[in-house]
Amino acid sequence: MNIIRDLIRQKEVIVCAGAGGVGKTTTAAAIALQAALEGKKTAVITIDPAKRLASSLGLKELSDEPSKVNARKFTAAGLKPKGELYAMMLDTKTTFDKVVTRYAPTPEQAERIIANRFYRNISGTLSGSQEYMAMEKLYELHAEGGYDLIVIDTPPTRNALDFLDAPKRMTDFFESRVLRWFLLPYMKGAGGFMKVANVAAVTFLRVVKKIVGAEVLDDTAEFFGNLEGMYEGFKQRARDVAALLKSESTSFVVVTSPALDSVAEATFFATRLNEEGLPFGALVVNRVHPHFGDDIEVKPRQISRLEKGEPEAQLLAKLLDNHEAFMRVVRLEERNLEALARKVPRHRWARVPYLEQEAVDFSGLIAIADELFAG
């Protein structure tokens, strides 16, 4: 039985994680595609797909709702899905606005927050907001979307683990004590506090004001003032999301390539999932170079003699040279994967070879799915 097939049959949420550039988005899309073929109503949430991959799923713009992948795509490829496939490119900003609207005690308060300049910066640039919103959208679709399975791609962070910490980092940020120090004199009726606030805080303020300007501080204070009373809602939601990620219904698929850096990151990630009590499901090893003719043994001397010979001999020399070069890559990849196998046993792996075509269109996705679900 194929390990990934087990997951699509048993789980409701699959999180694809890994370093950038290892084919995470493609893997997520291929898993979702296969699940739809096998009868699940599936949604795939992508973060930053390649243009052709996005358009192969019928995605034109960022949105906060999945849209159905046209059945004609399947028919054109000679496939008849038993389920349905939905896809979306996550719109962080809109998702954030909706979260604010949900937790604000009144619509007016929500509007005030959304119009605030500091808030607009947060929703766009604060590190972790994209990860936070990806988790938020995942939770919402799981709770209310009516999908059998949701496959989510994680943002291309510098560090594959960032998104695990994102909800907590965001709520910590909202509650930061340092912030309160800053904002005291800007908050209504807090004038008296300034007198007792310590010298460091006053110095802080003076420098900050100098650096960023008084307006920025006003905006910030207004934002946090408006946020008053909403913290508990945010925190509760962050706890719910964390609970979903730890639950039986969820599984993490770690995507890697056989390159050294990416293997190191995948190993670290698998270990970390374990420590956090998060359910590791499978490892996808992507872009493994194909293996041909392991037992050819040739000496450099033989090649150099061939190089001096007839055209056919020269041709053979080139072929042997090329073979040897690829074998070097294969051996190095094997060595990297050997180290990985000590952390994640091979029966938890799915290997996808470096295909001769690119997985950027619908047929490419099908090719990847065929490899992922082979056996």
Partner 1 sequence: MLVEEFLAPKILIVSGKGGVGKTTVAAALALVAARSGRKVCLAEVDRKGTLPRLFGGRELNYKPAQLAPGVWGMNIVPEDALGEYLEVQYRMKRVSKVFSSTHFVDYITTAAPGLKDILVLGKIWYLEQGRQGGRSPQDFDTIIVDAPAAGHMLTFLSAPMGLSDALRVGPVRRQSDWLVEMLRDPARSRVHLVTLPEEMPVSETIETSEAITHKIGLNPGAVFANAVYQPLLTTSEVSALDEVMSDNDPRELRIRAAEVALRLDGEDLEALVGYARFLEARRSIQTKHLRALKRGVQDPVLELPFLFSAGLALPDIETLADVMEEKVAAL
Q: Which helix (H) or strand (E) holds 177?
A: helix 177-183
| DSSP 8-state symbol, 359 | S
By CB under 8 A, how many residues form the interface with partner 1? 75
Output 193 or 268, the one with its CB closest to partner 1.
268
At residue 283, what are phi and psi to the nearest 5 degrees?
Answer: -115, 130
Segment lying near partner 1 (by CB under 8 A), choices 184-192, 200-208, 226-234, 275-283: 200-208
CB closer to partner 1 out of 19 and 32: 19
* Residue placing its CB nearer to partner 1 in the complex, 9 or 209: 209
d(CA 122, CA 272) in angstroms, rounded, equals 28
- Which 3 state secondary structure label does DSSP give 98? helix
Contact positions with partner 1 (CB under 8 A) in 209-228: 210-213, 216-217, 219-220
320 binds partner 1 (CB under 8 A): yes
Task: For the segment 19-38, give every residue that binds partner 1 (CB under 8 A).
Answer: 19-22
For residue 29, which phi and psi values (nearest 5 degrees)?
Answer: -65, -40
**Residue 45 in contact with partner 1, rule: CB under 8 A:** no
Per CB under 8 A, 178 contacts partner 1: yes
The verdict on 275 binding partner 1 (CB under 8 A) reads: no
User: Could you tell me where the DSSP H helices lie in 11-80?
Assistant: 24-37, 51-56, 71-76
Nearest approach in angstroms of CB 363 to partner 1 is: 14
Write the binding mask 53 to 92 for partner 1: x where contact by CB under 8 A, - elsewhere: ----------------------------------------
| Site for partner 1, residues 295 to 314, rule: CB under 8 A | 295-296, 298, 302, 305-306, 309-314
Chain positions 327 to 366 lying near partner 1, rule: CB under 8 A, are 328-329, 332-333, 335-336, 354, 356-358, 360
Query: Which position has the token pair 């992922």?
Result: 372
3-state secondary structure 113-138: HHHCHHHHHHHHHCCCHHHHHHHHHH
Burial of 117: CB neighbours in 10 Å, binned 0-12, 13-18, 19+: middle
Binding of partner 1 by 174 (CB under 8 A)? no
The set of residues, in sequence order, having a beta carbon less than 8 Å from that of 212 and lying 6+ positions away, is none
Distance of CA 164 to the CA centre of its chain: 10
